[in-house]
């Protein structure tokens, strides 16, 4: 008796049907169904029994990371590229993903064997960019091949240490009868590339597209199967690009690195806090805070503007952080300090286009609102770090020593913190508060 049965699966959304359909009823894609044969038997005749061993008996060779020479890149990846890893770099079109990988690959090619597969651009287009941003010494090997079967066969035969695929959405398997970029192709491509990385100990770096919502395009399986997902994002100010770690099996997540885009390519920005301090105004409504991104403290300027409203419902225009947090802090100040912010329009933003989520910004938000309301500036070269409870108490924050060391490095002279905050010895003048009532002494 034949125990095999066939089904038809949509390669775009994985919808399953017992018969072939011209149009998928789930995603409305035409001619996307392919036949798959399923085995009803629980155990195949070809299946082998697995030998299990205690974990402590498993062989473990500590792999030395591959350093690129770009400190910002290496730090975000957790100390360099891990051999045999598979990572995805994604970001908006034109943000500089290909430029960044071209510069990284050129540096690595001096000491490692690297293959660069550009499936989106021709070799002439890549050469035009390369002649502008790198010294082309023929150490880096290129191809515009998009057939993953040929790419994998070449890599198994010639054994490079690193391969770069730009992009995974433009690669395909000829055996999968679907156009490049569909869910079926992406799932198959990710699985085969992961096998190549683990079995051949080859580091695979692939670029990926993003959706209009800003998320990585393709099935969620793609993010689960890879070792790291990194977003390359742009900021409005200074022409800065931020490399952000979202998933990293070999390092910390939420780590960030800064680059500046120029005509000669991307340059590292190791002194981003110095630039922020130079642009800080310390005018009414302006407050400096420190936000921890991965292991790196970033100095950020908060800007608030409060004016009496001319509308029945006051405006709340807030960018860079959760608008509910600003409204909550405003409500706490009105409750305990009798500051009538409910009759004022509130405009709030983070200078430089950054985005934060930490509760340690509460004290900075409160001081920015009060500074704008009373039209009084806070002391120059001061920083605010503290969390505010619903009862109006100012609470200590975590990792205060890291923030304090960074503030001292860049010449911060005053620090507004909680009275209960435990601090190591330092040279910064401390201005401590136990509750929001005590904030008013700054504006007397």
- Torsion sign (Cα): 305, 308, 309, 312: positive
Note the pLDDT tens digit of each residue in 6-65: 788 887 777 888 888 888 888 888 888 887 766 555 555 666 777 787 877 766 566 789
For 41, the enclosing helix (H) or strand (E) is: none
pLDDT confidence of residue 334: 94
**Separation CA 386–CA 300 (nearest Å):** 14
pLDDT, position 1: 43
DSSP per-residue letters across 186-212: HHHHHHHHHHHHHHHT-EEEEEE-B-T
Look at residue 61 in the predicted model and tell me its pLDDT. 60
Distance, in Å, from the CA atom of 308 to the CA atom of 209, rounded to the nearest integer, reads 45
Judge if the upstream peptide bond of residue 150 is cis by omega within 30 degrees of 0: no
CB 388 within 8 A of CB 332: yes
Predicted confidence at residue 439, as pLDDT, reads 93
Q: What is the pLDDT of residue 238?
A: 58
Would you say 331 and 314 are in contact if contact means Cβ atoms under 8 Å apart?
A: no
pLDDT along the chain (444 residues), means of 10: 68 82 86 71 65 72 82 91 93 88 90 90 85 76 89 92 90 75 81 91 91 74 88 74 90 85 84 78 89 82 92 90 92 94 92 77 94 92 92 91 85 89 79 93 87
235-to-89, 212, 331 alpha-carbon distances in Å: 17, 17, 31
Tokens matching residue 51: 């030998």
Residues 98-131: pLDDT tens digits? 999 999 998 898 889 999 999 888 888 888 888 8
* Cα atoms in the 13 Å half-sphere on the side-chain side of 186: 26
What pLDDT shows up at residue 177?
A: 67
**Model's pTM, two decimal places?**
0.76
Integer Cα distance of 76 and 243 in angstroms: 7
**Contact between residue 55 and residue 194 where contact means Cβ atoms under 8 Å apart:** no
Strands 296-308 and 286-293, how do they pair?
antiparallel
Rounded Cα–Cα distance for residues 182 and 32 (Å): 10
Q: What is the phi/psi pair of residue 130, to 5°?
A: -60, -40
Please provide the size of the chain in residues. Answer: 444
Cβ atoms within 10 Å of 318's Cβ, excluding its own: 18
- Predicted local distance difference test score (pLDDT) of residue 292: 83
327/159 Cα distance (integer angstroms)? 57
Across 335-439, the runs of DSSP E, i.e. the strands, are 344-350, 382-384, 387-388, 394-395, 414-418, 429-433
């Amino acid at each position: 008796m034949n125990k095999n049965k066939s089904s038809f699966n949509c390669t775009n959304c994985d919808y399953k049907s017992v018969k072939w359909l011209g149009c998928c009823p789930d995603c409305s894609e035409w001619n996307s169904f392919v036949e798959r044969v399923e085995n009803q038997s629980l155990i195949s005749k070809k299946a082998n029994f697995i030998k299990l061993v205690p974990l402590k008996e498993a062989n473990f060779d500590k792999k030395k990371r591959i350093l690129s020479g770009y400190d910002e890149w290496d730090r975000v990846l957790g100390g360099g590229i891990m051999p045999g890893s598979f990572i995805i770099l994604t970001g908006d079109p034109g943000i500089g993903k290909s430029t960044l990988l071209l510069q990284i690959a050129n540096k690595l090619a001096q000491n490692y064997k690297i293959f660069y597969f550009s499936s989106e651009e021709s070799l002439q287009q890549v050469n035009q960019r390369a002649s502008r941003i790198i010294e082309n010494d023929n150490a880096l090997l290129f191809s515009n091949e998009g057939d993953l079967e040929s790419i994998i066969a070449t890599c198994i035969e010639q054994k490079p240490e690193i391969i770069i695929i730009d992009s995974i959405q433009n690669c395909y398997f000829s055996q999968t009868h679907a156009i490049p970029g569909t869910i079926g192709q992406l799932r198959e491509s990710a699985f085969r590339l992961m096998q190549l990385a683990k079995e051949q100990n080859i580091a695979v770096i692939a670029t990926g597209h993003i959706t209009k919502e800003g998320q990585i395009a393709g099935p969620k399986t793609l993010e689960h199967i890879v070792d790291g997902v990194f977003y390359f994002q742009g900021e409005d100010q200074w022409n800065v690009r931020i490399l952000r770690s979202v998933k990293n099996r070999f390092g910390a997540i939420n780590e960030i690195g800064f680059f500046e885009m120029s005509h000669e390519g991307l340059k590292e920005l190791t002194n981003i806090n110095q630039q922020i301090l130079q642009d800080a105004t310390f005018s009414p409504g302006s407050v400096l805070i420190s936000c921890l991104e991965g292991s790196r403290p970033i100095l950020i300027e908060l800007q608030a503007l409060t004016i009496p409203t001319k509308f029945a419902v006051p405006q709340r225009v807030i960018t860079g952080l959760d608008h509910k947090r600003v409204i909550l802090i405003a409500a706490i100040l009105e409750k305990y300090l009798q500051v009538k912010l409910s009759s004022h329009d509130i405009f709030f933003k983070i200078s430089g286009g950054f985005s934060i989520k930490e509760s340690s910004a509460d004290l900075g938000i409160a001081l920015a609102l009060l500074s704008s309301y009373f039209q009084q500036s806070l002391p120059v070269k001061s920083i605010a770090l503290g969390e505010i409870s619903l009862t109006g108490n100012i609470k200590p924050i975590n990792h205060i020593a890291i923030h304090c060391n960074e503030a001292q490095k860049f010449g911060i002279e005053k620090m507004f913190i909680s009275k209960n905050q435990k601090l190591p010895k330092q040279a910064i003048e401390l201005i401590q508060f136990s509750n929001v009532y005590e904030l008013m002494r700054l504006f007397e």
